[in-house]
Structure 1
Amino acid sequence: MNVGLQKTSLVNYPRRLAAAVFLPGCNLRCPYCYNAELVCASVLHGPVIRASAGGNNDYVPVEAVFEHIEKRKSVLQGLVISGGEALLSPVVPELIVRAKKAGLAVKLDTNGLLPDALQALLGDRALCPDMVALDIKTNPSRYGELLAARQDGSPADGLHAETALKKTLKLLQTPEASAHPVEIEYRTVFVPPLVQAADIQAIADLLQHDAQWFFAPFLPGQCLNPAWNKIRPYTMEEMKQLILLAQTKIPHSTLR
């Protein structure tokens, strides 16, 4: 399997120097996604490795990630497991085990649509991540819009996604569901068509009052759906107003 590897990062895992692995495949088709090659790739095989000029985020065989963890374990403090949607991948358990054996903390990024897979990890002391970052794309009732581009999509998928996301939110808000304490953060990208005032309010209603909710600006240019590259991002003032709205229910709502 080929995966993305960022050998060192100061931003993917808060307060830790970490490596980040990006696993192929995704169960969403967010039109603003900037990593189409990865999310559309086979879960089992990943994207094709092409010759490049090098860099810090190349596609490599997953075995190269295992080697990197072992080689750099004295320097790294954490491993971020991301995607695509990481929980689709069969290599997640082995990545967690190898990272923990190397003394690294593990952060898992997920879109929340696979609550049973997440619950299985959280309930297993050997596999429980130290941190989970949940990407909340929009109002859960609008997730059908993020599935419309899938060739195997159906009208029922949106309702299924909404139900799954809400199950994940409940799971993350139940500390006893985890084998050990897990740090939780929620993330939302300010994509104008998908994240408006009503969507902010709907999401806030599902989060606990003390949640850590981080926002990021929408950056067009490499969108999965090229038409979305023409969408005007929110201005800084517009984002500030939406954050103030979020803070009325979730005080720790911040632009990152």
Structure 2
Amino acid sequence: MTADSLVIGGMAAFSTVDYPQHLAATLFLQGCPWRCHYCHNPHLIPLQPGDETITWQQARRHLKSRQGLLEAVVFSGGEPTIQKALLPALQQTRELGFRNGLHTGAPHLKLLEPLLPWLDWVGLDIKALPSDYEIITTNRHAGPESWAAIEALQKAGVDFECRMTWHGALQLPEQVITVGVRLADQGVRRFAVQIARTDQMLNDFIGAGYLSAEDKQRVQNTLTPFFETLNIRD
């Protein structure tokens, strides 16, 4: 498997938010085994190329032209770890002198582990408590391996942040707080709660899921003492 097989659904040529404190280019990879109700990139779920697909060689040429200007490359999705071509792509971006970032829900730990030596930072999506993953992902096997990825990242010494998407129709404030406390108990130091973007979702039937300012502040106030950094991202 070579990096040329990577199926890329789109690229953000310049990002200040996808890799903390670093300027990055972000590649959005096709394919995801989950069907999260609030998914705001449903066009990336199929593994097959879409209308906006670019080739790895096109992406690589862009990255080479930005050496010395960009600091990092972030592989996002979809779920990037399900593509076997991700590993050789990470090796090539590291050779070009970039830091490697990854956004992943870690659905399969065995797919994440070989990537760890080539990663500098990971944004790990934690959907819910392990027992509640099916409510979010519609996949009854989801959950345990995503939480096991926390220990794998810690053992590998890879810098990471856990993030959770909060949709008011799917999670009460108390559930978000419970997830946060459990993460802190497992040694997670950085946690971000991302308010679901409801303008484009895989399942529009769940509605906007209104969250009050009071609910957001309660989560912020309760969880802040547990982490080095705790962000509520609208």
Fold conserved between structures, TM > 0.5: yes
Q: Are the aligned partners of 1:5 and 1:19 in contact in 2 as well (CA < 8 Å)?
A: yes
Match of 2:130?
140
Q: Are the aligned partners of 2:37 and 2:137 in contact in 1 as well (CA < 8 Å)?
A: no
Letter in 2 for 1:94: P
Cα distance change on mapping 1:210 and 1:26 into 2, 3 Å: closer
Match of 2:32?
26
Cα distance change on mapping 1:93 and 1:209 into 2, 3 Å: closer
Match of 2:99?
105
* Offset from partner CA, 1:165-190 (integer Å, 9 cap, x none): 2221221232xxx2xx4211011122
Choose the corresponding residue for 1:77, options 46, 66, 71.
71
Instruction: Compare the two structures and name the one with the higher helix fraction.
Output: 2
* TM, length-normalised to structure 1: 0.80
Choose the corresponding residue for 2:22, options 16, 21, 43.
16
How far the C-alpha of 1:209 sits from its partner, in A, is 4.6
Choose the corresponding residue for 2:210, options 223, 228, 233.
233
Q: Are the aligned partners of 1:82 and 1:109 in contact in 2 as well (CA < 8 Å)?
A: yes
Match of 1:52?
none
What RMSD over aligned residues (CA atoms) do the two structures have, in Å? 1.9
Tell me how far apart the structure 2 counterparts of residues 6 and 104 of structure 1 sit (CA, whole Å): 16
Tell me how far apart the structure 2 counterparts of residues 213 and 129 of structure 1 sit (CA, whole Å): 19
Match of 1:119?
113
Q: Are the aligned partners of 1:18 and 1:80 in contact in 2 as well (CA < 8 Å)?
A: yes
How far the C-alpha of 1:88 sits from its partner, in A, is 0.5
Match of 1:217?
195
Percent identical: 25
Tell me how far apart the structure 1 counterparts of residues 82 and 50 of structure 2 sit (CA, whole Å): 15
How far the C-alpha of 1:243 sits from its partner, in A, is 2.0
How far the C-alpha of 1:147 sits from its partner, in A, is 3.7
Letter in 2 for 1:9: S
Cα distance change on mapping 1:210 and 1:95 into 2, 3 Å: same
Q: Are the aligned partners of 1:138 and 1:203 in contact in 2 as well (CA < 8 Å)?
A: no
How far the C-alpha of 1:236 sits from its partner, in A, is 2.6
* TM, length-normalised to structure 2: 0.87
Q: Are the aligned partners of 1:190 and 1:234 in contact in 2 as well (CA < 8 Å)?
A: no
Q: How does 1:165-244 map to 2 (within 5 A)?
A: 165-174=146-155, 178=156, 181-196=157-172, 197-207=174-184, 208-209=186-187, 211-228=189-206, 230-244=207-221
